[in-house]
Structure 1
Amino acid sequence: MVHLKDVEDDKRMMVVQFLLQNSKDGKPKYGKMKEAGIKFNLGRRTVTRFWAEAKKQNNRGQLINLTTKARYTPCFTKRIQIDKEQIQSLELCRRGTIRKLAFGIKCSKSTVGRWVNLGLIRAHTSAIKPDLTVSNKLLRLRFSLEALEYDRIANILRFKTMHNTVHIDGKWFYMTKASHRFYLTQDEPEPHRSCKSKTHIKKVMFMSAVCRPIIDENGVVIFDGKIGIFPFIEEVPAKRNSKNRSAGTLETKPLQSITRVVTKECFINQIVSAIMVKWPEGASKLIFIQQDNAKPHISDSDPEFRHAASQNGFDIRIVHQPPNSPDTNVNDLGWFRAIQSIQEENVCTTVDQLVNAVCNSFIELSPVALNKVFLSLQGCMIETMRMNGHNAYKVPHMSKDALIRQNVLPITLEVDKELVNECISHMIEAGEEERMQHLIQELGYGYEADT
């Protein structure tokens, strides 16, 4: 018998045409597959594959040859074609699953599933973003513009390196998730997970402090940028005896109320101290701690903080990111999610185990991953400029891993001058002329309106 790869295109066409002529309702008559194999000196499996490929192409509306693209005359019933207008007219809440969409457009689930596989329709997860006021948008836009610097030699605008900005933020890490997906073998028993209340799963608040890593041209990490991650916990003696421990044994308990006093103690005794210990030699000691606008956070004018932040030649200051803007903090932008993805791989049954899992995940993550999040932050700032401060955009992707392999990953992203000029003009029209004049003078480049 002849091998499949050795069959000429003309012979393939003759096989398919023979089966088409001896078919009824799109199916070859009984015995015709074997007869075609004998007639054209081919194996029955080869004939079946020719027929399957031809039928597959015909179902897409174009019965074609596999190599020469020569068209055959279709004889099968064409599948239902997608009606984009009908789908788009359906409410979004009625398009949440393939089953709902199929019911809404009066179509079968298999047809909708085929459209998904062919890429004619796509799944999308919509996440709620903070609602922004006009003031919020202006502050976001100004925050992005103030992160720029002007290179007179190269005559370009780009973002500052951000090496002296420490991003801090808090997050609750849970002992387990209410719903968890596992893949099991066929005869493996299903796991049983239980707790007293799904709404009261044990959790611990952590405060993460990171800044941008320093990596040289050869990829050597000079400073990893990981200041630390600090849990809000306390050790209290057990009040009663139990089967696990006797009364008086110290137990680790999470702090459920994060007040200004607790936050202040974390700032002074942990974050500031860690910065001074880990800060690389030769780097600028003028450091900015960027935080959100949560009520428990302290201000830069706090006397005790100012005293602690000015020790050992350091000048550490607190700055606030724009309100309702988690996408301006690297922790919320992707760092916390990276930590959580590793932490969830550990089974935690006690608070101590959860604390160890989160801290080890923080240590395990690569400084390269942290550096990529800072570049994503700069990409978000560019999108913020394009949207005049709005947050209706997707987090941009720039194939950082491919750029790292090619050793061409940029240190900072460049920004188009025309875009910056448009943003400055928009801010001036909104009544921010004085601040924009100061920004233009600080940047030191020629601003041109209406460009």
Structure 2
Amino acid sequence: MATRKYMLWMGEELSYRSCQSKRYITKVMFMCAVSRPIYSADGECLFDGKIGMFPFTNQVPAARASRNRPRGTLETKPIESITKVVIKECLIQQVIPAIKRVWPEGLSKHIYIQQDNARPHIKNDDPEFMAAANSDGFHIELVFQPPNSPDLNSKTVDDLVNEVMQAFVDYSPSKLNNIFLSLQAVMVVIMKCKGHNNFSLPHMGKGHLAAIGMLPRNLEANVELVRECIEYLQGIGKTDGLEYLMNELGYNVKGIVDQLNGM
């Protein structure tokens, strides 16, 4: 079944959710690069956060004639095998130049590109990527996140590419800003659930808060929650990320870890 509804008793925890589509659809992979939008103090959008949308397609001459077009007509075809070579070429030849082209003046040029852990994605120490990323005054690094891919549907490859590109152009910067706030809210509830996905999506009323000028720039997790998560990670032997937290958050997390180690 494509969809399934569940009824839960009051207070019953959500079960683990996992679903894979079995329907055939035209498939085209895209590399979408976005950043956090920037607003002035009076709410004017200074930077819409849109770096670029890059389809993995190429133009191939038609091998045979048909009633719709003669032999040799260029057709848009999806690149069926997205390999490390294809990903690296897109990053070096399209994504990095686009970042350098649209990046606002005055912002730090130390930039992180966050990608998921799909197999074709390159490592953050790839020498060719590093050479392209560390030039023109920019220092661009790759970091990783869990995979999350959308399902798309269309009649032809050209239709799909055009619709996705237009949707990218039309997408509201305020919605993109809300996505980053929702991401932060989800990160907080994931911390509360100790890494599981059995939670309801948090709602903050972002539209109302924006209308009254009270939409927060960032959300914060309280120190006690951070302490609980660090203690939980230490208890299950997952300590690899604690050093990263200390480097990113500084003495606050370090002090918590020191306190736990002294217990």
- Taking structure 2 as the reference length, the TM-score comes to 0.83
CA distance in 2, matches of 1:392, 1:126: 6
1:232 aligns with 2:232: no
1:356 aligns with 2:245: no
Q: Equivalent residue for 1:245?
A: 69
Asked if the contact 1:288/1:317 (under 8 Å) is kept, the reply is yes
Q: How do 1:434-449 residues align onto structure 2 when only pairs under 5 Å count?
A: 436=242, 439-440=245-246, 442-445=249-252, 446-447=255-256, 449=260
Q: How do 1:166-177 residues align onto structure 2 when only pairs under 5 Å count?
A: none
- C-alpha deviations, 1:322-341, integer Å up to 9, x for none? x5x64xxxxx5xxx58xx6x
CA distance in 2, matches of 1:255, 1:373: 29
How far does residue 203 in structure 1 lie from its aligned partner after superposition?
Answer: 2.4
- Gapped runs of 5+ residues in structure 1? 1-94, 102-119, 131-176, 179-197, 327-331
- C-alpha deviations, 1:377-424, integer Å up to 9, x for none? 101111111112222212211110010111100000122221112122
CA distance in 1, matches of 2:114, 2:31: 13
Aligned partner letter, 2:169: I
Corresponding residue to 1:422 among 228, 233, 253: 228
CA distance in 2, matches of 1:410, 1:314: 29
1:291 aligns with 2:92: no
Q: Whose helix proportion is higher, 1 or 2? A: 1
Q: Equivalent residue for 1:128?
A: 17
Higher relative contact order (CA 8 A, sep 6+): 2
CA distance in 2, matches of 1:395, 1:267: 32
1:368 aligns with 2:174: yes
Identity of aligned residues (%): 47
Asked if the contact 2:112/2:142 (under 8 Å) is kept, the reply is yes
- 1:433 and 1:204, CA in 2 relative to 1: closer, same or farther beyond 3 A? closer
Aligned partner letter, 1:206: F
- 1:96 and 1:289, CA in 2 relative to 1: closer, same or farther beyond 3 A? closer
Secondary structure at the aligned position of 1:391 is classed as coil
- 1:293 and 1:435, CA in 2 relative to 1: closer, same or farther beyond 3 A? closer
- C-alpha deviations, 1:177-203, integer Å up to 9, x for none? 99xxxxxxxxxxxxxxxxxxx63x422
Aligned partner letter, 2:179: V
- 1:434 and 1:381, CA in 2 relative to 1: closer, same or farther beyond 3 A? closer
Aligned partner letter, 2:137: G
Asked if the contact 1:129/1:391 (under 8 Å) is kept, the reply is no
- 1:434 and 1:224, CA in 2 relative to 1: closer, same or farther beyond 3 A? closer
- 1:235 and 1:440, CA in 2 relative to 1: closer, same or farther beyond 3 A? closer
- 1:237 and 1:372, CA in 2 relative to 1: closer, same or farther beyond 3 A? same
How far does residue 433 in structure 1 lie from its aligned partner after superposition?
Answer: 6.2
Secondary structure at the aligned position of 2:42 is classed as coil
Q: Equivalent residue for 1:205?
A: 29
Structure 1 or 2, whichever has the larger Rg, is: 1
Asked if the contact 1:378/1:413 (under 8 Å) is kept, the reply is yes
